[in-house]
Amino acid sequence: MSFYYFLTRKFLNILFRILYGFRVWGSQKKDWAGGLIIASNHQCFLDPILIGTAAPRELYYFAKKEIFSWPVIGFLARKYNAFPVRREAFDLEAIRKAGSVLRDQHSLVVFIEGTRSRTGELLPPKSGVGLLAYQNRADILPTYIHGSFRLRQSLFRYPGIIVAFGERIPIRRYMRLNLPRKKVYQKIADDVMDQIKKLRDEVTHFLQEIEH
């Protein structure tokens, strides 16, 4: 982890704890080694920053191509390991870049729903996370973000925002499935989403317990 990234992560951790009662579940108990996909739900523009603050490892990100032309935001995106993706079509160049990141043994954030949820509810998973994991032999870490959908409601709540990391899913369990490749990709995505739903339920139960 670069010193610049380390300092920013520490600062944001303190800031989010003050503003949103920021909590992280499971980060210290996980195996973060090697090429790893951090597969998460997506509710808010702040989600990549929340995951980056929660994870004990430097992360890489997809980001929409347009922001790289913005003077300040574009500079920061590059500084924090984001790379451009065209959302209106299948972007082979971005897929190749993601593969290079994983093969170089880095961690890559992927929002499994393919878009931001407009309701706060989990959306059906896209098969892209399965494709990336399968093609690059990368394990997957299911991740659930609670509280970022309505940031104002999470402000000064303790806890207001929670980032929960689940159990690492080894890609090797899918390598010998006797299914068409596209169905394998979707099965991977569905299994990851099942784990994200379990994390959601655990967070919901925890919040209900502390409210009583």
Retrieve residue 118's tokens: 């407009």
- Average pLDDT of the residues in 60-86: 81
Please give the residue that has the higher pLDDT: either 131 or 84.
131
* Domain membership flag for residue 77: no
In this predicted model, what pLDDT tens digit does every residue of 86-95 receive, in sequence order? 876 677 888 8
Q: Is residue 68 part of a domain?
A: no
Per-residue pLDDT, 6: 85
Q: What are phi and psi of 125, to 5 degrees?
A: -75, 145
Per DSSP bridges, beta strands 36-40 and 139-146 are parallel
Whether residue 110 lies inside any domain: the answer is yes
Question: What is the CA 78 to chain-centroid distance, rounded?
Answer: 18
pTM: 0.91
71 occurs within a structural domain: no
Q: What is the mean pLDDT of residues 20-37?
A: 88
Per-residue pLDDT at 134: 96
Number of domains in the chain: 1
- Round to whole Å and give the CA distance between 190 and 123: 11
DSSP 27: G
Q: Please, which pLDDT band fits residue 194 given cuts at 50, 70 and 90?
A: very high
- Between vectors from CA 116 to CA 110 and to CA 117, what angle results, nearest 5°? 125
Residue 144 maps to which CATH number?
A: 3.40.1130.10
What pLDDT is stored for residue 77 in this prediction?
Answer: 78
Domain that holds residue 155: 21-59+106-211
**Average pLDDT of span 157-178:** 93
| 172 in a structural domain | yes
